[in-house]
């Protein structure tokens, strides 16, 4: 297997482009199921998860075409067209590799009247049931059946009527599935306590561009007036706020000075506040965000929370940064119960982190040391890279398939900033 090798201690400086958001792109791609006209998505990141979702869409008979681009370009353009859907089954072999595959359930149900999807896979960061996906689709009028590891959703004759649903807890994925199903309902649907992450706003904006009627975009109360059909559109994927936050942590831990081209502060205010609390300078610029760190980092106390709170997807990266803070930080993970698997690996590098249930206490240290470390999930792998950039000596990060799911050409971007980093092929 490939590994990333980092020689730490290099100060990061320069400008790098922020890629299109992985979490948004994986939600926008299944919108192609909602129309027989072409859907063109610009600024798609080059990621393993995007390739996997493209293969899943091909499984349904959807044509996909990627526009030619120059090697130095990061984003790409894909046009999808579901003129005729030839299958309504998302098989285990494709779905098991990527949890986002469950997002075909709502749009396929709305367009075809039925959908059969294998129970999903993805990162092993905790229990992530799909019960709310199924309950909200039932509220919109679907009949749900489960057998042999598959979910089958069936709409009544004449299509989904629509309905009302109040989420007992905020669920990004279930909100996304509900939105894509509701836009083609025969009546009006209302969603209460809906997720309001920037990726949800991006999805709503695309659906509106395709002819959907949605009220309350950006709030926790959404009203969707169903329409008979949607049309094609061309749409730009939002910048990746998690990638931007990750590179901000990388710059800060090395005492660097970096401009994140294309990053939007309004998408990541909680991350920006956490960085500022830690003593990092973060300023919006006309072309993105400027990040700089001088002197000692300060400890931080915070909890992860749904947007607009601090994103769980930034917890591991911030933890790596706080390993170098002067004092003890306290992080509480409220979203997933098994998201501290990176802690033993960071401790192998000389960090001093204790975990007590869902709380981690990070005692800052003067020096981190390079080591052989193993990535356990997507964001954990980035935390090890961040630590490696500041460590003395050489760090080798294994299991890069996690990293490749969410960070586009990471070693190339970090090298642009002066990092001594390379990818080495496995035996």
Tell me the catalytic residues.
123
Is position 131 annotated in a ligand binding site? yes
Give the number of other CB atoms < 10 A from CB of residue 65.
11
Joined together, the tokens standing for residue 324 give 């170098």
What is the DSSP track for 264-287? -GGG-HHHHHHHHHTT-EEEEETT
β-strands 150-154, 143-147 pairing: antiparallel
Q: Per the annotation, does 196 bind a ligand?
A: no
Q: Which pair of tokens denotes residue 265?
A: 């502060």
Q: Which alpha helices (H) appear in 295-409, and where do they start and end?
A: 315-322, 343-348, 378-390, 400-404
161 carries a ligand binding annotation: no
Beta bridge pairs of residue 233: 39
Render the burial of 274-303: b for 16+ CB within 10 Å, e for the rest. bbeebbbebeeeeebbbbbbeeebbbbebb
Distance, in Å, from the CA atom of 231 to the CA atom of 30, rounded to the nearest integer, reads 14
Q: What one-character DSSP code corresponds to residue 424?
A: E
Residue 51 assigned as binding residue: no
User: DSSP string covering 64-123, please?
Assistant: EEE----TT---EEEEEE-SS----EE-HHHHTT-GGGGGGHHHHHHHHSEEEEEPP---
Answer yes or no: is 91 a known binding residue: no
Find residue 263's DSSP bridge partners: none
Q: Which residues neighbour 312 within 8 Å (Cβ) at sequence distance 6 or greater?
A: 304, 333, 334, 335, 336, 339
Instruction: Please give the DSSP secondary-structure letter assigned to residue 239.
Output: B
Instruction: Give the whole-angstrom CA distance, residue 315 versus residue 383.
Output: 9
**CB–CB of 355/383 below 8 Å?**
no
Backbone angles phi, psi at 168, to 5 degrees: -65, -30
Q: Strand (E) positions, 171-314?
A: 188-192, 213-215, 222-225, 233-236, 257-261, 281-285, 288-292, 301-303
Distance between CA atoms of 120 and 108, rounded to whole angstroms?
16
Is 128 known as a binding-site position? yes
Name the DSSP class of 392. B
Distance CA 327, CA 125 (A): 28
As annotated, the binding site includes 22-23, 99, 128-132, 313, 335
As annotated, the binding site for phosphoenolpyruvate includes 22-23
As annotated, the binding site for UDP-N-acetyl-alpha-D-glucosamine includes 99, 128-132, 313, 335
């Amino acid at each position: 297997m490939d590994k990333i090798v980092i020689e730490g201690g290099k100060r990061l400086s320069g400008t790098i482009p922020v890629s299109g958001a992985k979490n948004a792109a994986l939600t926008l791609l299944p919108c192609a199921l909602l129309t027989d006209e072409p859907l063109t998505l610009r600024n798609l990141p080059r990621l393993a998860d995007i390739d996997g979702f493209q293969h899943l869409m091909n499984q349904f008979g959807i044509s996909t075409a990627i526009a030619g681009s120059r090697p130095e370009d990061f984003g790409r353009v894909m046009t999808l067209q579901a003129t005729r859907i030839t299958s309504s089954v998302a098989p285990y072999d494709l779905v098991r590799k990527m949890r986002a595959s469950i997002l075909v359930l709502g749009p396929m149900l709305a367009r075809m009247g039925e959908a059969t999807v294998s129970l999903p896979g993805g990162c092993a960061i905790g229990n992530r049931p799909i019960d709310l996906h199924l309950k909200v689709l039932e509220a919109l009028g679907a009949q749900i059946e489960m057998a042999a590891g598959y979910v089958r959703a069936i709409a009544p004759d004449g299509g989904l009527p629509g309905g009302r649903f109040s989420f007992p807890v905020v669920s990004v994925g279930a909100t996304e599935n509900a939105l894509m199903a509701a836009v083609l309902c025969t009546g009006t649907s209302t969603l209460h306590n809906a997720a309001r992450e920037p990726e949800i706003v991006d999805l709503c904006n695309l659906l509106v561009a395709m002819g959907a009627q949605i009220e309350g975009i950006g709030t926790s109360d959404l009203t969707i007036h169903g329409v008979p059909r949607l049309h094609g559109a061309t749409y730009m994927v939002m910048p990746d706020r998690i990638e931007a936050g990750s590179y901000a942590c990388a710059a800060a831990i090395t005492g660097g000075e970096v401009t994140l081209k294309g990053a939007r502060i309004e998408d990541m205010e909680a991350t920006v506040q956490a960085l500022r609390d830690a003593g990092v300078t973060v300023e919006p610029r006309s072309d993105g965000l400027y990040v700089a760190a001088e002197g000692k980092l300060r400890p931080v106390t915070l909890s992860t929370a749904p947007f607009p709170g601090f994103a769980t997807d930034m917890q591991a990266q911030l933890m790596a940064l706080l390993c170098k803070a002067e004092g003890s930080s306290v992080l509480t993970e409220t979203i997933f119960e098994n998201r501290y698997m990176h802690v033993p690996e960071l401790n192998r590098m000389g960090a001093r982190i204790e975990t007590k249930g869902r709380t981690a206490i990070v005692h800052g240290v003067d020096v981190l040391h390079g080591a052989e470390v193993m990535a356990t999930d997507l964001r954990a792998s980035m935390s090890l890279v961040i630590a490696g950039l500041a460590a003395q000596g050489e760090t080798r990060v294994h299991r890069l398939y996690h990293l490749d799911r969410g960070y586009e050409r990471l070693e190339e971007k970090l090298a642009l900033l002066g990092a001594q980093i390379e990818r080495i092929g496995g035996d």
